[in-house]
Copies of this chain bind each other. A is one copy, B any other.
Amino acid sequence: MQKKTSDVSQYTRDALPAYQQIKNYVLDQIQHGVWREGDLIPTELSLCETFRVSRMTVNRALRELTADQLLVRYKGSGTYVAQPKFQSTLIEIRNIAQDVRDRGHRHTSKVLHTGSLTASKAQAQRFRIRCGTILLHSIIVHHENDIPIQIEDRLVDSTVAPDYLEQDWSTMTPNQYLMRVAPLPTGQYTIEVRLPDKKIADSLDIPTSQPCLVMDRITFSNNVFTSQATMWHPGNRYKFTGNI
């Protein structure tokens, strides 16, 4: 083990191309929180010495990670860890009523329920975890300017985030928290139209006859299950927007 320069022998052992080994090294530094958002990372020449390769090889690794939006690079300045892309997918919930209005949105949230349970057989299969794994459960209503915009029903793997239920959701959303403890999320989602039950309708301040936009999302970090969430939005007031 060295001090200033990390020991990278674990990355150079395998038969992968050198540029891929460097990419894996950088990815791991970010994923394990050694390098955080906005941090300046080693220069190309520094990585050349560390990995004993030419500059073009390091350049390719860093250029590809930049194309993947994991790094940002500035000529004359250096290479930095990028801010994570917004919400994981297409999410960015727009208030139809206030679409034309300015900003100054005030976000508040209210915890309706917290608890824990053990994964059922169906959940275990769907989440690719062992049956009986402890899952932490939260139901939170999010408001924008005192208007409910989302009910978030979420399950979190307790082995990934044992302190999940102790967080203060007035200063941080579950998404923000999970992006920190489980970066580089992958997963699947569905979007559909559903009618809310009485409890959900009341919490969203809508009648049970009002169809909702429902997003269901399962996320993994490093191929390990992190969280599952079902998010309900009143269909008369909100829509999803995104970029391609």
User: Which residues of A are in contact with B by a Cβ distance under 8 Å?
Assistant: 56, 64, 67, 88-90, 94, 96, 185-193, 211-213, 217, 219, 235-236, 238-244
A186 and B244: CB pair below 8 A? yes
B244 and A191: CB pair below 8 A? no
Say yes or no: A192-B213 contact (C-beta < 8 A), given A243-B186, A244-B185: yes
Contact of A189 among B88, B193, B219, B241 (CB under 8 A): B241
Q: Which residue of B lies closest to A236 (CB)?
A: B193
Set of chain B residues within 8 Å of A90, measured between Cβ atoms: 89-90, 189, 191, 242
Say yes or no: A241-B211 contact (C-beta < 8 A), given A89-B90, A90-B89: no
CA distance A214 to B168 in the complex (A): 36
B242 and A188: CB pair below 8 A? yes
Q: Which residue of B lies closest to A193 (CB)?
A: B235
Contact of A239 among B190, B238, B241 (CB under 8 A): B190
